Amino acid sequence: MSIPEQVKHLVGEWNGITILRLSPDSLPEESKTTAKVKLQARGKFISIDYTWSTDDGDQAGFLLFGCQQPCNTSGVWIDSWHMNDQYMPLDGNVLPNGSIWIRGSYAAPPEPDWGCGKSS
């Protein structure tokens, strides 16, 4: 299955602001961000290649996901600051309106696992 038409309008180059908050009590840290959104493999996948920065310096990340069935999605996320040298497997759903949501988690001992996206 290909990426839903409702998502294809995101293809292009984007500029914006990234907000990083390390804890609920910390002040948000803002930085400029850029993103390049592309269709991959003849429209079967979509990728987001992005940059941002922290006090630690310039950072970069990449998200790739696709739709295997009419309702299921999967992908992978990497980020130089959040994930270091690991990757996060992602899974999710295509909603009835054609939008896509994905989720993933990773271990953060001794704390509970950290994650992103909407939980089931």
37-94 pLDDT, tens digit each: 999 998 889 999 999 998 889 999 999 988 876 678 889 999 998 888 889 999 988 8
Task: Concatenate the DSSP letters of all residues of 50-118 into one string.
Answer: EEEEETTEEEEEEEEEEESSSSEEEEEEEETTTTTT--EEEEEEE-TTS-EEEEEEEEETTEEEEEES-
Query: What integer pLDDT is reported at residue 40 of this predicted model?
Result: 94
My answer on whether omega of the bond before 24 falls inside 30° of 0, hence cis, is no
CA dihedral 120→101→32→81, nearest 10 degrees, is 50
Q: Is the dihedral of CA 16, 9, 119, 49 positive or negative?
A: negative
Query: What integer pLDDT is reported at residue 48 of this predicted model?
Result: 95
Residues comprising the chain, all counted? 120
Query: What integer pLDDT is reported at residue 70 of this predicted model?
Result: 67
Query: What integer pLDDT is reported at residue 116 of this predicted model?
Result: 67
Per domain, the residue ranges of the chain are 5-18+30-116
Please, are residues 57 and 77 in contact by the beta-carbon 8 Å criterion? no
For 36, the 3-state DSSP assignment is: strand
How confident is the model over 102-116, as a mean pLDDT?
82
Of residues 67 and 28, which shows the higher confidence score? 28
**Is residue 120 over pLDDT 70?**
no
